[in-house]
Structure 1
Amino acid sequence: MEDIKSVDLFVSGRLCLFGEHTDWAGEHKGRSESIVEGRTIVVGTQEGLFATAKPLKEKVLRITTTDNHGEKTGPAEFTLEPSELLAVARSGGFFSYVAGTAYRLCVAHELEGGLELNNHTTTLPMSKGLSSSAAICVMVARAFNRVYNLRLSTRGEMEFAYLGEITTPSKCGRMDQACAYGSVPVLMTFDGDILTVDRLQLAVPLHLVLVDLKASKDTTTILKCLQQAYPHPASDLHEGLHRLLGPINHRITSEALQAMATGDVSQLGRLMVAAQQLFDQLAGPLCPEQLTAPVLHKVLSYPAIQELVWGGKGVGSQGDGTAQLLCRGSEEQAKVCAILSADLGLECMPLTVTTPRHGDHK
């Protein structure tokens, strides 16, 4: 190993613009004629996790984390022994993501020593649908990769992060680890167990607002309800979900890709509105307790912001968790935040997705 003193790291968050739930649905391709590959359009955020990492002689992982409010946790220390790491990963909690990823790396690689990882700054809000848990997993994988020259590609870091997260009680889809690609929009295609990732061109910035709905949702319940339709549909409602997550999603994502490439932001907003309406129609009846989402729909249709946005939809698994609004510009973005905060008491996070900087593709 080279004499590395420390390395600087950054891992962004990620936001799914279109195609939620098609990652797990697409993994069923081949088991039923009605299932086609899943496709999601995911954008990296400018917000994320900043860290420094350096090697340790003793075989331990020593980690300190800082949340987006500046509150530090740790240092916590874990012996780099697979059995101990696996136990921590399976126990749940924040450090389970760290331990799960370290476990996968230790099993696959002979590490010469340990790692000190200091997540000194975080600008990514936790639990807002921006894949903060996946970002932590990618950060751990990237730290070991850079410090010990494991020669992992971005896809390799992403794979170890995914394997690390599914070692915990939280069973994510493969879409979440798109944060490994940084502030770059990507198209992810899920064809059975084959994942393809293509970087996209974004002609103009997207001025988004993410709205914490301050309500309740249960992602586990949503997934349980929807996944009952797979792989073999047993009712008309199940067949409707197959259409939504299959050919309908293909049409919407194809049109969205064209709008992003040409800079037609108004069309992108119209597609968000259409995608939400179709989700309500075809997925909502399968889990009405969670997907009726009155707070989400109140925000999406709130009269005072309609002239400021091109459109909007739910985030992640949907439900009353977070809304995303595509604004008409930066000034409108600020006004939407002010209105929803003053009128409805909601927390808003402006998110501007820009064209990739030189070097973001590495």
Structure 2
Amino acid sequence: MTIDESGIELFVSGRLCLFGEHTDWAGEHKGRNESILEGKTIVVGTQEGIYAAAKRLEEKVLRITTTDNHGNKTGPEELILEPAALLAVARAGGFLSYVAGTCYRLLVSHEVPGGLQLDNHTTTLHMSKGLSSSAAICVMVARAFNRVFDLRLTTRGEMELAYLGEVATPSKCGRMDQACAYGSVPVLMTFDADILTVQRVQLAAPLHLVLVDLGATKDTTTILRSLQRAYPKPETPHQEGLHRLLGPLNHRITGQALQAMAAGDTRRLGELMLEAQRLFDELAGPLCPEQLTAPVLHKVLSYAGIQDLIWGGKGVGSQGDGTAQLLCRGPEEQAKVCAVLTSELGMECMPLTVNPVAAG
């Protein structure tokens, strides 16, 4: 964070779920069904994100300008900082709903003596690609109010307000998405009904990842609605399969992934990514085949030209044809994967290197 005449400069990263997607909201059902296990996800922030300048206004409004990752600007648009009006905008859906939902949660829980100008002047994070772009803007709004008005919120506090803001919209996200508040540190998040715990993950060797924009479309809301019908209690064999996937199978895979990360065994980590994808296809895919068949994702994961360069890979976020994550064998292979997929498949690639860290 820096302060100059234009206000406070802020950055919020996207987030990449390495393992455990969908177990955040599934684990929150534990209080309604004792057979449900805690959700466990391993998450890391991306180097890409959203940048904004925030400054105080005397008027009780939020004046926001946004910029997408292609440089296209929208706004300024104004939201009156009045709870009922904000809630109506949040429930209407669309991009501004995330902003309005977070503002609503802030206003009903904190005294905010004024308004805010928020200029999202630069965005390097790709939208609607499973990298938590909606959560990033929610965290950005919470962080901007926190820093400008000195609300004394912790990172967890910003994350909680962002989550509550997003679920005030038609989005059915879980708490994992707001892990972007933690930046580039890999963390293990555990979801036990309404109790969330977050701890840093030991990483003994760097992870050389490539995030591949599949250039297709996905509908996260449809995916979530389809899968969430299986909770809290399954009623069909396919729904029972989803409970196994997001419960005991996920516990095993995330546990083994943590061991591989602590040992610096990236080859084993890649194998676990492939296994996680296979199980997801088998047990989650039938519940939303129109979104989760994901032909473009599977074309990339099995593409012959990169098999000798990667240890493994899987889908990102809610899955579907949004983004693929590939774990490369090293930095040179990371660059080659980007070159191959760009030149041969015309796909945009984003290298992401996660540096070693001690457990915390």
TM norm structure 1:
0.93
Query: 3-state DSSP class of the match of 1:222?
Result: helix
Per-residue deviation, residues 302-356 of structure 1 (Å, max 9, x unmatched): 1110000010011111122221111112221121122112222222222222246
Which residue of structure 2 lines up, in the alignment, with residue 351 of structure 1?
352
User: Residues 238-249 of structure 1 correspond to what in structure 2 (within 5 A)?
Assistant: 238-249=239-250
- Asked if 1 retains the 8 angstrom alpha-carbon contact of 2:171 and 2:221, the reply is no
2:68 corresponds in structure 1 to: 67
Gaps of 5+ in 1: none
Alignment check: 8 A CA contact 1:138 1:177 kept: yes
Whole-angstrom CA distance in 2 between matches of 1:33 and 1:77:
45
Equivalent pairs counted in the alignment come to 356
Partner of 1:132: 133
Please give the root-mean-square deviation of Cα atoms over the aligned residues, in Å: 2.0
Give the partner amino acid of 2:231. Answer: Y
What do residues 64-123 of structure 1 show as CA deviations (whole Å, max 9, x unaligned)? 222222222222222211122222222222222111111111111121111111222222
Aligned to 1:313: 314
CA deviations over 1:215-239 (Å, ceiling 9, x no partner):
3333333223322322222233322
User: Secondary structure of 2:102's match?
Assistant: helix
Provide the rounded CA distance (Å) in 1 between the counterparts of 2:244 and 2:131: 26
Partner of 1:151: 152
Measure the CA separation in 2 of the matches of 1:261 and 1:224. Answer: 35
Partner of 1:87: 88
Q: Is the 8 A contact 2:61 2:79 kept in 1?
A: yes
Deviating more after overlay: 343-352 vs 36-45: 343-352
Alpha-carbon spacing, 1:73–1:356, altered in 2? closer, same or farther (3 Å): farther
**1:112 equivalenced with 2:75 (yes/no):** no
Task: Provide closer, same or farther for how the CA distance between residues 64 and 218 of structure 1 changes in structure 2, counting only shifts above 3 A.
Answer: closer
Contact 1:46–1:353 (Cα < 8 Å) also in 2: no
Give a deviation string over 1:176-203, Cα, whole Å, max 9, x none. Answer: 0000111111111111111111122222
The reply on whether 1:332 has 2:333 as its aligned counterpart is yes
Moved beyond 4 Å, runs of 4+: none
Q: Secondary structure at the match of 1:150?
A: coil
> Could you say what secondary structure the match of 2:198 adopts?
strand
1:64 is paired with a residue of what secondary structure? strand
Aligned to 1:57: 58
For 1:227, the equivalent position in structure 2 comes to 228
Structure 2, unaligned runs of 5 or more: none
Return the alpha-carbon distance in structure 2 between the equivalents of residues 117 and 215 of structure 1: 31
**Residue of structure 2 in register with 1:13 after alignment:** 14
Query: Higher mean Cα deviation, 259-268 or 63-72?
Result: 63-72
Identity of aligned residues (%): 78
Q: Contact conserved, 1:4 with 1:55, CA < 8 A, in 2?
A: no
Q: Which deviations, in whole Å up to 9, do the C-alpha atoms of 1:142-185 show, x marking residues without a partner?
A: 01111111111111100111111111222211110000111111
CA, structure 1 residues 90+235, in 2 after alignment: closer, same or farther (shift >3 Å)?
closer
Per-residue deviation at 1:4?
Answer: 9.8
Alpha-carbon deviation of 1:37?
0.5
Corresponding position of 2:195: 194
264 and 240 in structure 1: CA distance in 2 versus 1, 3 angstrom threshold:
same
